[in-house]
Amino acid sequence: MHAQMLFSASRTRFIASIARFQNIGKRSMSVRPLKYEHLTNTPGESSPQKPAPQPPRKKVTIASLHALRQERTPITVLTAYDYPTARAASTHGIDITLVGDSLAQVCLGYSSTTSLTLDEMLHHCRAVARGTSAPLLVADMPFGSFYAGKEDTVRAAVRMLQEGNVEAVKLEGGSEIAGRVQALTSIGIPVMAHVGLLPQRHTALSGYRVQGRTAQSGRSILHSALALEEAGAFSIVLEAIPSSLAAYITSRLKVPTIGIGAGPGCSGQVLVWDDVMGTWAGHKAKFVRRFGDVKSEVERGVKAYASAVRNGSFPQHEKEGYGMDDGEIEKLLEMEGDREWTWSPPKLMSN
């Protein structure tokens, strides 16, 4: 009986404390807005207004890309390789996010894109997909994944859609791959084609050289683009070809063209993330324009962090550490039988 009475009394005190906590919360909610208004509203000043939330972007589709082409509104394409870069592209107006096989060089340190495997590409596709909402998500089919035949091409593309969660695939090649493109588009797998300079074939091309500078080679690129359009490609990338040739090909096609080093006459433009942000320390192509200087900021941040750790200014005990009651640390030392250990936070070292 005595135990029951103690339990009942404890329960009553607990409920009362909860009620007091709830009442405090209610009073805070009712009073704080009034205090805030009183402190911020002065004669002649209007109440501070929160910025209106931006409406969510509409999902970019193949149909909306064709509409942009018809309206002559340039299409924006940017590569992304992980969740943060995908989020940035999705948030700030990019129409197509491309998981480019350029990640072989800029992310994985390979000397060329030909070293990238399908499994490596799938890993990055999944990360980018998690950060992509509005843009159409396209990924490069890696070197060798569509060369053996139509069945292997379909099998690899299906993996990219199912496991990589992308919405379309991009294939490098001319009219010789039109049959494989048609094999994909006929079963509902959207394909972006890629003609002109083909980085996956850079060895056969004797390097990264401008293509289509003669009438014959330019005509070959044109006819490849027409064949790929006929095979069902919804868009075609034109890389490193003369501006006039790119503009003419664009005028002959009924699908959007995306230029990279192909001048302003295309339906849209694509660049590599690291070229845009200035983080790539390798060769800078003529057609690249750097829109940011992230490399310098990264270097500054890393150097500042290393310096702060070494000179003892990071972390600061009060601002960047957690406290423990003196009594508790003393109890711990007593439990351990340690009567000698002492510690006091280091003083901030002057620069």
Cβ pair 257, 238 in contact under 8 A: yes
Choice among 167, 172, 229, 239 that is catalytic: 239
Q: How far is CA 77 from the centre of its chain?
A: 12
Give the Cα separation of 36 and 24 in Å (integer): 18
Joined together, the tokens standing for residue 199 give 């980085």
**Three-state DSSP class for residue 239:** strand
Joined together, the tokens standing for residue 72 give 């002559």
Joined together, the tokens standing for residue 134 give 């509005």
Cβ pair 65, 75 in contact under 8 A: yes
Whether residue 37 lies in the annotated active site: no
**Rg for the chain (alpha carbons), in Å?**
30
Q: What is the DSSP string of 27-81?
A: HHHHHHHHHHHHHH--TT-PPP-PPPPPPPPPPP-HHHHHHHHHHTPPEEEEE--
Joined together, the tokens standing for residue 295 give 């490399």
Closest CA to 191 of 223, 150, 163: 150
Catalytic site positions: 239
